Structure 1
């Protein structure tokens, strides 16, 4: 009966669904001297866990001193790096500014041309309405002449 329970606990253990008391029961079983032959292959795993719990690291590690950076050596290089960054920023910033100005000028030119075209169209429409007004007078005169008869 106990052997069946241990086998069931082992299958649950490998599925990862055992509780802590069940795992403790498995460890206690495999730490015994008399284990059935078909379960002996699992014994090293549980004894390994017991042995590794008892291991301690005893070597002495030599600690190295932290090297302090000499700030006097880095100051000239920092100023060179900062000036290079400023020059790169100015170079690319100027290009970006020029590109935006060109786009703005193109947009203003397109606006002026469109405005010219629309003004010309409005002028032609007003001329057309004048012609229609003359045509309207002609129609009225014609109706007066035909209505007199």
Structure 2
């Protein structure tokens, strides 16, 4: 009777549905010397809960607000002031913006033939590097062929499971 009750309480405990009183019953049961053999695995867990429940914090807690103020807060204030000063100096000594079209015209060509030659040269270089990369990955097709032949193993497994199913 007691063992059935403990097993029901354990099921409720694992689902998170126990009350504090029911958890106390579980702790009391698992603190005894004799526990059912199939429930021995729960004994260390509840023993830990009992020991952990008796732990106490023994250090002094300072209640004076000046004692826990860090010097780091003071440093953080000055770091933020220095950051604002650096930003202000950066805005003050910033180079003037060039508003003409020439500021944005870097890298353009006056002759369309020259631009076409540069573009074809760039595309040829990209193509050669791309082809070099794809040639090194060509062995993956062979791996795919090998894994497709492993599909026959599934058929063998199905037939053996039918034979040994009885």
Shorter-chain TM-score: what band?
Answer: 0.3 to 0.5
- State TM-score, norm by structure 2: 0.42
Task: Give the structure with higher Rg (CA).
Answer: 1
Higher helix fraction (1 or 2): 1
